[in-house]
Amino acid sequence: MPTPAPAPTPASAARPRTPLRSITVLYDPDCPLCAFVRDWLTRQRQLVPLVPVPAGSAEARRRFPELDHDTTLRDITCVGDGGQVYRGAAAWIVCLWALAAHRATAHRLATPAGAPLARAAVLAAAKYRAAHHPTGPARERADGWTYDRARGWSYVPERRAGGGRPAPG
């Protein structure tokens, strides 16, 4: 005879569990490392679908108007279909958790013993990204975004390709 499931505790009963059915991965389309990881993730067998969306894009802003989009351009960010937001090491772990071949690794990285390794991996990626990402005022996009190594990404909606501003009036 099967053993009955334990009764929920008051704390677990008050906290509804929303399963993840899809995860949006916000990535920097101008970062070679981010584009490589995006491509790698999409080639893997996924237990939970990963949907890549360029961070800071009109699509990202439409889907997640409440999100701090400047932060999504600095830190890896994933958003679950139930509104769960994961940043940094937690975002990387949830991406691995969604992959068939890497779910066990994600479980190990989510433990107190694995967390320092997950943080180190994200910090190493950030260091690589900073060394290989376009820098300086010459890195200006037509959509108003500009990257400065010291300050990160900034958005000036009036800016146009070539640095010109629209004529007043």
Residue pLDDT, tens place only, 9-54: 444 445 556 688 999 999 988 888 888 999 999 999 999 999 999 9
pLDDT higher than threshold 70 for residue 105: yes
* Percent of the chain at pLDDT exceeding 70: 68
Q: What's the pLDDT score for residue 73?
A: 85
- Answer for the pair 143, 161: CB distance below 8 angstroms, yes or no: no
**Strand, coil or helix: what is 140?**
strand
Q: Give the tokens for residue 66.
A: 């409440």
pLDDT higher than threshold 90 for residue 143: no
What is the C-alpha separation between 80 and 93, in angstroms, rounded?
Answer: 13
What is the C-alpha separation between 119 and 51, in angstroms, rounded?
Answer: 23
Count Cα atoms within 13 angstroms, Cβ side, for 32: 7
Q: Give the tokens for residue 121.
A: 């991996």
pLDDT higher than threshold 60 for residue 112: yes
- Share of the chain residues as helix, strand and coil, in percent rounded to the nearest 5: 40, 15, 45
What is the C-alpha separation between 59 and 83, in angstroms, rounded?
Answer: 16
